Each structure stands twice: as structure tokens, then as C-alpha cells.
Amino acid sequence: MDLESFHRRSIEDRDGFWAEQAGLIEWHKPFGKVLDYSRPPFARWYVGGETNLCHNAVDRYLRTQPDAPALHFISTETGEERSYSFAQLHREVVRMAAIMRGLGVGRGDRVLLYMPMIPEAAFAMLACARLGAIHSVVFGGFASRSLASRIDDARPKLVVSADAGSRNGRVIAYKPLLDTAIGLAAHKPERVLMVDRGLAPFESVAGRDLGYAALREQHLGDDVPVTWLESNEISYTLYTSGTTGSPKGVQRDVGGYAVALAASMKYIFCGNPGETYFCTSDIGWVVGHSYIVYGPLIGGMATILYEGTPLRPDPGILWQLVERHRVSVMFSAPTAIRVLKKQDPSWLSRHDLSSLRTLFLAGEPLDEPTARWISEGLGRPVIDNYWQTETGWPILTVAHGVEKTPTRFGSPGKAMYGYDVRLLHEQTGEEVGTNEKGVVAIVPPLPPGCMQTIWGDDERFVRTYFTSIPGRQVYSTFDWGVRDPDGYYFILGRTDDVINVAGHRLGTREIEESLSSHQAVAECAVVGVADALKGQVAVAFAVLRDPAQAQDARAREALEGELMAVVDRQLGAVARPARVHFVGMLPKTRSGKVLRRAIQALSEGRDPGELTTIEDPAALEQVREALTG
């Protein structure tokens, strides 16, 4: 079938299409209704059906391929390597579930995971799924304040963490960050389960902290049956940044997500049971949820959990892993490839890559030179795919499991089945024409696998995503895009204040709030500035309470360092601005709104254009001077 007809059917015969896809997973009890859309824009998929993510990712394969590899863990940071078959993975997940159950965790309880890339992180996610507990993974690169706000929003009964992670040979102790976060949080978790890797000694809080290794011994032989969940119960929440300083808990269901992932493995990633999938993301991001943990396992594939960078011990490490584990499908981010592009290209040809069929890249715009370099260097197709934490699986790409649609440089591809994608005029809400710029929007209902709501805040879900385009209730991605006459989309950047640093999605507002917590700062603005390696970096402009504090270069440098350290401490190094500039005032409109786009234009050496609403043009001059000074 051609992709266009496949897509059309998914929209015009929604129930028929998705009922068919539901057959890709196992159900304990069949669903009564494919879609309940009686309360738009809330979509409820596979109503009445009972299933379980852990069953579909693990138990299901005990029958057909218990000894096939399920998970390969490789840490080039610590030198550890461990592999688990489906049967072994099952045992570890059941043990972890038994520990959690013993700590009183059950259906609907939240468990927050603050973990490095180690197998126990995947065990914990799958154990939650098994019990019907809701996991919320917080990226290990985030620091105390970010973590505290997520603890307060999720109110977890249990936190699972580890002594440390490691990046680029540097041990990052997690426990002190976690202890500080729990200190800051209003809603303290009852228990903390600690995986001790022996990397960083830590203090245990009596009565609260428990060691994983000892508890695992106690539960070695326990049986924990799968808890069958109604399709619309909650599998997890995952926090993501938006326009405000408070992160949104993207909430996902069980049945719809399982079906969406199974379908994507078949139609988009074209992976088969028994093969190996290697995704270089992190379990703290949506790509890690969908394509390190759940997607490959649901597809019966072995997944690789890699703690390390693309350059250590040498720039051939990713390809060495492809060779050693006979990887068929690989998923990475453009930044990782741009990092490799700076190295000797012969690294691409030193390993046997005959098992590799396709490299998928996502998370940020894929520039043409990078795409060409890697696809020519590997001699393999490179497939860009565009999606969001909110959607859980690709919105735009090509689906070679449906049709061998050619890819086009600079474009992530076409609308995927299930997504009724439109490009709309920001102000009128009308559809824009071919080759015209519009907001990428999706006419609801959103397909299976997409967010159900914002955790604990239905009203915010509707307001945030479904009211920004006037005249109609459509989902806004907050990305600009254009479509060519052949239906290929091109993404042109965000419409809001979200930035994308090396594929990491960050809210500028959060960084501004962090900087403003320093007593020297009166106000500040953070913008995303184009960067050849990371796609974008955050650049800050700060107005000081006492301008004398930045009177000479030495004072400015010292204060800049201090402000960066504040962000490191509160949010984590991922959010640290690349530069902090000092200005006497920020360019604002007469009504007091900071003109971030003008600041961004100047920072990228572009003309900020006609600014009729600016209160004081001298403020722009100050930004210009700060940038050149």
C-alpha cells in the first residue's frame, strides 16, 4: 500500500485502522470501543481493554524467545558490560517489582526515578509498569531545583536513585542532589531506594533510604504477577519544558501507547524480533522511554543501554557497538553526528556495519551537510523524524514498512498515519498554502500513544495546547513549518520560548528564573542562539541591581561564572547559558514585554527588523554593545 492511502485510511476510518493495529500487542481482555471522543479534546483509546506494558515488553516473549537477548548494558565510563535475555530481564523486573510492592507501591502510586543509564533504571520502569505504578523519570543531568519541582508535582511514594552517574570520565554524584531536592520539596517521598554502583560514597537517611542490593537478595524468588490495567490508566508522566517556568507532566496511557509503539516498530523502524535496536538517547527523555525501553522490547528486539559519549574511548565506539551487537536499527540525534563529523571520517569504516539497515535521527533540526556526511559515510539511509515528548512517537517521517518513500534532505518527511497534520496561520487559524509558513498543528483526536493530559491539570492541557490557534480547537506543536507540493514538511523552529540545546528541550523561562534567584540580578532574558555543534545554545542578558558590580572585565567575568554556577546547581549543567551578558536595560515593548526575538536576532547577527512597539531603542543598542564588547 502507498503511504498516502495508508495515512488517509488512518484518518477517515480511524476506528477500523486502529482496531487493526491493536492486534500487534497482547490484550488480557479485549476493548469494547476503539475510541471514546465524547469529551474533546480528550481521547480515550481502546476503552475497556485490559493490558500491561511490562507484559508486552517482557513476559510475552518468555513463550517465544526466552533466551534471546533483551538488554545489553555497556558503560564506557566504568567499563561494565552486562547482557540479559528476556528470561533474565523478566527475573530482574519481577525482583524489582517485589521490592517496590514490599515498600507499599501499588496501582496508581507514583515512583520517581532519578537514575543514570544502568539496567536497574530499565528494571524500575518495567517494574512500575508491571505493578500499575506510575513512573516519572527525571533526567540525571537535572539538578536539585528541577528535581524538587518534579517531586512536588508528582508526589511520589518512592524515589529510586543511584549513588552516581558518569559522563566523560567524570563521576556525578546523584545522592547529594537528591537529598537537597527532597529537602526543598514540600511533599517528601516516604522511601528512597538506592542502587549503589560504588562510584560515590553517600550517607543514608535512617528510616527513609534503603539499599537495592540487599532487598534484591530478599526477593530473589518472589513472584509478582502482572497487574492488568484498563487501557486508559496511566503508565507514566514525563516532565517537559514549555513557556512557563513550571514543567508540565506529560501523562500517557497504557493500551494506546503500547499499540502506537508496536505499530511504529513495524511501519517506521522496521525492526524484527531477535534483532538489536541501538538508541543513544537517555532514559530521562521521551526518546529513551519510547525507543530505549518500551518500543524495542515490545517489538521483541534487544535494546542497548549505553552509558557513555560518542567519543570515548575513541570516535568509533558507536560503530564498534553496532558491530559487536549486530545492530539493525539505530536511533541518535543530529548533535551526536555533528560531534563525530569533527573527527577523522575513517572511524566510520573501521567496523563491520553489515547488520545496520537504517540510522534514524530526531530531536532537533537535521542540517543537510550532516545528513549527507553520515549517510554517505555509512552507506546507509538516514531517516529524520520529527516528534515531541507530547506525542511519544513520530509525527513526521517516512514509513518504509508501508512504502519506500524517498527522503528529502532538510525534511523530516511526511505526516504519519494517525496524525491529521495541518499548517495554520498563527493569527487567523486558516490553512496556509504550499510553501507558506504556518504553525504545525494536529486536528484532534490525537492518535494512540500521545499525551492524555497534563498530570493533575486537565484545564492547563486544554489551554496550553488547544487554544493558541484562534477559531478552532487544534493541537499546536509550537513549531513553525512549511510543506512542499509533494507533502514533505520542513521544520523552521519554535513559535514559543522553548529552546533546543544538543537535542535537549529547555524552557528559557526556567533558566531566567534560576538566574534571577541570584541577589545581583534585577531581571534577565534568555534566548536560544544558533550554534554549529549543538543546534542552539542558551545566551543570557542580565540587568544588575547595582550596575557597579559589572564595571570592569574582571568583575563581569567573575559574576558571569557565579551566575553559571547558580544554574548548574539549581537546574543542572544542561541548562547552563553559554554566555551571560550584562546590560543596563532589556529591550521591551511599551506594555513591558521583553522582546526576546529581537534579542535573539541580534545575538545571531541578524537584523531585528522593524520594532514599532519598542519602548526605548537604546536598549537594543546595549544588547548590540554587550555582544561585541
* Interacting residue ranges for ligand PRX, rule: CB under 6 A: 240, 285-287, 362-366, 384-389, 412, 477, 479, 491, 494, 500, 505
Cell 498554502: give the residue: 433
DSSP 484-553: -TTS-EEEEEESSSEEEETTEEEEHHHHHHHHHTSTTEEEEEEEEEEETTTEEEEEEEEEESSGGGGSSH
CA of 166: how far to CAs of 171, 309, 348, 574, in Å?
4, 10, 26, 14
Residue 299 or 528: the one with the smaller Cβ distance to ligand PRX is: 528
Helix (H) or strand (E) holding 464: helix 458-466
Going through 168-244 in order, the beta strands assigned E by DSSP cover: 170-173, 191-195, 209-211, 229-230, 236-240
Written as one letter, the residue type at 277 is Y
Burial class (CB in 10 A: 0-12, 13-18, 19+), 552: exposed
Written as one letter, the residue type at 316 is G
Position closest to ligand PRX via CB: 389
Cβ atoms within 10 A of the Cβ of 15, count?
10
Write down the least CB distance from residue 253 to ligand PRX, Å: 18
CA of 334: how far to CAs of 90, 371, 534, in Å?
34, 8, 9
Write down the least CB distance from residue 20 to ligand PRX, Å: 26
Write down the least CB distance from residue 464 to ligand PRX, Å: 13
Residue 320 or 495: the one with the smaller Cβ distance to ligand PRX is: 495
Write down the least CB distance from residue 368 to ligand PRX, Å: 12
Residue 319 or 360: the one with the smaller Cβ distance to ligand PRX is: 360
Residue 532 or 548: the one with the smaller Cβ distance to ligand PRX is: 532
Helices (H), 202-254: 212-218
The dihedral built from the CA positions of residue 203, 207, 211 and 214, taken in this order, carries a sign that is positive
Residue 46 or 267: the one with the smaller Cβ distance to ligand PRX is: 267
Residue 144 or 388: the one with the smaller Cβ distance to ligand PRX is: 388
CB 350 within 8 A of CB 321: no
Write down the least CB distance from residue 385 to ligand PRX, Å: 6
Residue 20 or 426: the one with the smaller Cβ distance to ligand PRX is: 426
Sheet holding 421-424, edge to edge: 421-424, 438-442, 475-483, 489-494
Write down the least CB distance from residue 384 to ligand PRX, Å: 5
Write down the least CB distance from residue 365 to ligand PRX, Å: 4
Write down the least CB distance from residue 144 to ligand PRX, Å: 22
Residue 501 or 583: the one with the smaller Cβ distance to ligand PRX is: 501
225 prior amide bond cis, ω within 30: no
Residue 240 or 570: the one with the smaller Cβ distance to ligand PRX is: 240
Write down the least CB distance from residue 389 to ligand PRX, Å: 3
CA pair distance 281, 288, nearest whole angstrom: 5
